[in-house]
Every structure is written in structure tokens, then in C-alpha cells.
């Protein structure tokens, strides 16, 4: 695997990690995903 590909992949992983951390930091996102997961869980039963 060329070095440029490794750098590109690591940069992509860092970006995704930062975006995920920003989303997790917001309580609104947690409430939203919690309610969505709970509703989908109820519908699957």
C-alpha cells in the first residue's frame, strides 16, 4: 500500500472520528438517536 494511500485513509478516519465526536457531544443528537432506536426496537417486537 503506497504511503499516499495510508495518509489519505488516516486523514479520512480522523475526519470521521471528529465528526462522530461532535455529534456525540450534542445532547439533541443523543436524544434523537435514542428515540429513533427505541421506536425501531418497539416496532421489531
Give 5-40 pLDDT, tens digit per residue.
989 999 999 999 888 888 777 777 778 888 888 888
| Cut 0.75: pTM above it | no
Q: Which residue has the higher pLDDT, 9 or 1?
A: 9
CB 32 within 8 A of CB 38: no
Residue with cell 470521521: 16
Q: Is 26 exposed, middle or buried (0-12, 13-18, 19+ CB in 10 A)?
A: exposed
Q: For 26, phi and psi rounded to 5 degrees?
A: -90, 125
Domain ranges of the chain: 3-44
Q: Among 34, 9, 10, 39, which Cα is nearest to 24's? A: 34
Amino acid at each position: 500500500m503506497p504511503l499516499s494511500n495510508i495518509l489519505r485513509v488516516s486523514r479520512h478516519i480522523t475526519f470521521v472520528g471528529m465528526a462522530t465526536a461532535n455529534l456525540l457531544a450534542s445532547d439533541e443528537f443523543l436524544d434523537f438517536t435514542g428515540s429513533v432506536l427505541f421506536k425501531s426496537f418497539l416496532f421489531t417486537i
